[in-house]
Chains A and B, each alone.
Chain A
Amino acid sequence: GAGVSQTPSNKVTEKGKYVELRCDPISGHTALYWYRQSLGQGPEFLIYFQGTGAADDSGLPNDRFFAVRPEGSVSTLKIQRTERGDSAVYLCASSPTGGRVAFFGQGTRLTVV
């Protein structure tokens, strides 16, 4: 597709379970970002990849959160032992090398019950 694709669009999981959220960036974009948006708030940065490596993971809230991008394209955000406070919309964005604009996907709405 032409834009950033995120799957699933919605995910409901039970407290304590493990979840994976997938992001397929725009083809050729080397930079990939994950953000988390809680209700009534702006997006908050989680992690930034340049190619396969995590250039900045300072936004990950704790060690239950982990993200990978093994081949420099698709990325997976992994959350272990989910808590109700993890409920939010998780947004992925990508940009080309040297590009100043990040293009966002439609997000995955995660609900932990």
Chain B
Amino acid sequence: AQKITQTQPGMFVQEKEAVTLDCTYDTSDQSYGLFWYKQPSSGEMIFLIYQGSYDEQNATEGRYSLNFQKARKSANLVISASQLGDSAMYFCAMREIYSQGGSEKLVFGKGTKLTVNP
């Protein structure tokens, strides 16, 4: 079974600094996708970034980058130049891909609460 572990319940960062949110995963699948979502206090899950298990390059989306280390089964999110609006819950998730009739469901970690201080 797939499992996501986020070991940091809360993180603090100063505005304009970079921060890394940790995520490790466990799966026996060869082909999978890793995702990060942001959940502000409004409740909506906002997609940030995606990394496929066969992607050779680390994914980047603006200020977000994903530090993918396949051998260590880690997919840490790096946020550069933090802004006050980055304060939110952040969830790491994974999904099996190319499954034969299998589910497209996401498996989520418990999340990390990020607080950006002015």
Contact = CB atoms under 8 A, between A and B. Distances in A.
Contact of B110 (A40, A45, A91, A103): A40
Interface in B15-68: 33, 35, 37, 42-47, 50, 52
Interface residues of A, number: 28
Interface stretch (A13-21, A55-63, A64-72, A73-81): A55-63
Given A42-B91, A91-B45, A101 B35 contact: yes
Contacts of B44: 104-107
Contacts of A43: 45, 91, 106, 108
Contact of A42 (B46, B52, B97, B111): B111
Contacts of A89: 43
B45 A44 contact: no
Interface of B: 4, 33, 35, 37, 42-47, 50, 52, 91, 93, 95, 97, 101-111
Interface of A: 31, 33, 35, 40-45, 48, 50, 55-56, 58-59, 89, 91, 93, 95, 100-107, 109
